Amino acid sequence: MSKLDGTVALVTGGAGGLGEAVVRRFHDEGASVVIADLADERGEKLANELGDSVTYARASVLEEADLLAAIELASSKGDLRTVVVSHGGWGVTERIVSRDGTPAPLENFSKTLDLYLSGTYNVARLAAAHMSKLPEQETGERGAIITTASIAGYEGQIGQASYAAAKAGVIGLTIAAARDLSATKVRYNTIAPGTMRTAMMESVGEEALAQFAKNVPFPKRLGDPSEFADAALFLATNGYVNGEVIRLDGAQRFGPK
């Protein structure tokens, strides 16, 4: 029997990158999956490839109506027990103050925090509210939420102030959310990946990828999205892991640059 037979999952950012890897793994393990994303072409293509048990829903993590519609769609397939938050789509590299003394635009900082931190919180609060009304499973659990941080949330590099702050917020949210949600019997965990070999990363070229890999102690390579999916599956199925942040980075620690 597959680990997720008969279950339903919602994956935000599931049309590509780490989210796509989770969608594929959960599907392989028997789950029905709703992909919530804004990349319509990729999302619909993935859903068509994987078959009737996978459905695409256009949704912004910042729009409550979008998310409620995606949750309702997932619920039409059965009890929604697992939500994985793995969205991306915005980033800016800039110092807080440039070399000529110009301060970075506050708009960029706010936009980054909105997407990665507020977006994560928005998905979590709506998903948890839905799960709180589900019947308890045999284990007493009602559901599991898995969010995505980054090791930049621990060791932000030069030019990453806004991204590092947002991901540090996702990390800090984890234990507080797990404690808050203990009353609803919903588990809450986070994965903090290092440098992963996604399609976006591959666009920089093999020479740059090899340079990134030099900073990983062991194994001496970038992480594979399938390994992120492995971690998500573990967090979805191990009922005693709660309030944890798992670093998935080959012992990598970011330097200043």
**Which residues have a catalytic role annotated?**
163
Q: What are the residues whose beta carbons fall under 8 Å from the beta carbon of 46, sequence distance 6 or more? A: 14, 15, 20, 23, 35, 54, 56
Q: How far apart are CA 5 and CA 106, in angstroms?
A: 46
Instruction: Locate 21 and state its tokens.
Output: 């890897």
Q: How far apart are CA 102 and CA 81, in angstroms?
A: 48
Q: How far apart are CA 162 and CA 114, in angstroms?
A: 10
Strand partners, 57: 36
Question: DSSP label at 224?
Answer: P
Question: DSSP label at 150?
Answer: -
Instruction: Locate 82 and state its tokens.
Output: 């697992």
Cα dist from 189 to 70, 136, 174, whole Å: 21, 19, 6
